[in-house]
Chain A
């Protein structure tokens, strides 16, 4: 009987467990997670803080999932060491768990830039439920009124939205010239920025926080931040949201090849046989960049976990690759953005744009040699998935590219052979 051990209990593990169980109903499946609670959906923490989502609703997968899949759960236990020769995982309490197949799905951890004063009381991350509980407590007990969010990426904007809904006055400080700059171009970002500013949020771009200042009456507690240009912003809470980095510590004393993340092949296997990685900790294939990249994204982790699971259970399965893909619905502005979306001037790329400034509907397609390599849809997003699928399948759209950004675009706009293949389920 095969022993499958998965380190990490989030969506990568869920994908892997489902796939393993499809192939091998009897093997031992063991999940080790350092989080004490049953797994929940991390992307939903902001909705929880804003009061829109209950803990119950956040449970992911369903509470009975692990039982139904006959998984032995080791919750609240941290894996601290791997012995890949002896094939064991050592836990913090020195307990050793042996494996035949191992999946490292430890995720990411917040990147904390070097800042003076970062250890003061009132500085928070925005990644886990524990972070949210701390913020919740601070809002309830300390009557926090003003917050500075460092970083205008996905996490920063989602933190800003939930803090604003809780009645805080929020200032975002972003290093680059516009928010969400990894996924949106300036035009699209501007649409979101305008809506946020109407909601009373201050957005400072091209600036960094150099130090976190204490309060006049208590220097250990946050009282403000000092920017690179000398400006001081008063606040009683700082949320650091400059990104996540792969939690690769376990790989450190092993033969596992690590670049930014743990490198995996098209079967999600590392350079060490029987050892796999997926999710935010892994550096797997990106089908747009055509190289391995770390992609800290929920859907990518689930698919990677699935592929790893099948292969661990002995059923060959190739990873189609992921790419940067984001669906956002902050401040009532629906946005879907995938792949290379900020390459307007780059040679060899063609950009098609539709922008209705009255309605704030924005559609952008980036092409390379007739193939869509990037898209951004703002305001009107329901048909974006059709284009995502064309990207995944590397369909040459040269003959109908202008239709992709039209108001009337739909499945009916695709050439006959293509739409028939799709509807018959030949291409997906």
Chain B
């Protein structure tokens, strides 16, 4: 399975990963429309975290033994049988925050624009290379077989 690797020594803290993550998770897939015109607003599933001089981007690590899946009250968070990825079904999500309580990375986001639902990285289903990796100008994010 391929996973995103984080290289903090290469991260410049530019935040383009968040921008392109947001665009890919928008309806229009268009930069301007995604940020200016869509309702509910699309949100980034990757988080640029900084405690200067350290900066890096973190997203769902797709754990092998995912605590969020075992904690989920509704079954929204689950392991995809085919891909082995940790996926989140926002139709089933009730926004109970139990997944957030147990995520060791703080990688799950409460969607502020929708009613009681969380969001997280899905490794950009439909793209060969996730948007954050493809658009990182300094290769601080790479997609690697693990």
A and B from one complex: yes
Which A residues fall within an 8 A CB radius of B?
Answer: 15, 41, 43-44, 47, 52-53, 57-62, 298-299, 302-303, 306, 325-329, 334-336, 338, 381-386, 388-389, 403, 408, 410-413, 416, 419, 422-423, 425, 427-428
* A23 → chain B closest CB, angstroms: 15
Closest to A383 in B: B106
Which 8 pairs of residues, A with B, have the shortest CB-CB distance?
A389-B104, A410-B49, A299-B71, A385-B103, A327-B97, A383-B106, A412-B51, A412-B49
Tell me whether A329 and B101 are in contact (CB under 8 A).
no
Which B residues fall within an 8 A CB radius of A?
Answer: 6, 8, 47, 49-51, 54-56, 58, 61, 63-65, 67, 70-71, 73-75, 91-92, 94-98, 100-106, 108-110, 116
Task: Report the number of A-B residue pairs with Cβ-Cβ less than 8 Å.
Answer: 124
* B28 → chain A closest CB, angstroms: 26
Tell me whether A408 and B51 are in contact (CB under 8 A).
yes
Tell me whether A428 and B51 are in contact (CB under 8 A).
no
CA distance A425 to B4 in the complex (A): 12
Tell me whether A386 and B105 are in contact (CB under 8 A).
yes
A299 and B94 in contact, given A382-B108, A413-B51, A428-B104 (Cβ under 8 angstroms): no
In-complex Cβ contact of B49 among A299, A384, A411 (8 A): A411
CA distance A411 to B94 in the complex (A): 26
* B138 → chain A closest CB, angstroms: 17
Tell me whether A411 and B97 are in contact (CB under 8 A).
no
CA distance A383 to B47 in the complex (A): 11
CA distance A335 to B98 in the complex (A): 10
In-complex Cβ contact of A334 among B58, B63, B74, B110 (8 A): B110
20 CB-based A-B contacts, threshold 8 Å: A43-B96, A47-B94, A57-B74, A62-B75, A299-B70, A327-B98, A336-B97, A381-B97, A381-B100, A381-B110, A382-B100, A383-B106, A384-B101, A388-B101, A388-B104, A410-B50, A423-B61, A423-B105, A425-B64, A428-B63
In-complex Cβ contact of B100 among A61, A306, A384 (8 A): A384
18 new A-B contacts, CB < 8 A, other than A15-B70, A385-B101, A428-B65, are: A52-B94, A298-B73, A298-B98, A299-B98, A302-B71, A327-B100, A328-B97, A334-B97, A334-B110, A381-B97, A384-B101, A384-B106, A385-B106, A410-B49, A410-B106, A411-B49, A411-B105, A412-B55
